[in-house]
Amino acid sequence: MEYPDNGAYMVAAYIVTAVVILVYSITLYLRVKKHRDR
């Protein structure tokens, strides 16, 4: 079956989602850890 050739947009969206969520989650975890260890 023929599909539109737009897989690159899908890959970009999944990478952006993973990067933003992981970076925010890890940053938040480290900010809490910094305050916890004080």
> Which tokens sit at 2?
């023929």
Told to check if 36 binds other proteins by CB under 8 A, we report: yes
CA distance 26 to 24: 6
Residues 6-25 close enough to bind other proteins by CB under 8 A: 6-7, 9-10, 12-14, 16-18, 20-22, 24-25
Residue with tokens 């079956």: 1
If one asks whether residue 37 binds other proteins (CB under 8 A), the answer comes out as no
**Site residues (CB under 8 A) for other proteins?**
1, 3-7, 9-10, 12-14, 16-18, 20-22, 24-25, 28-29, 31-32, 35-36, 38
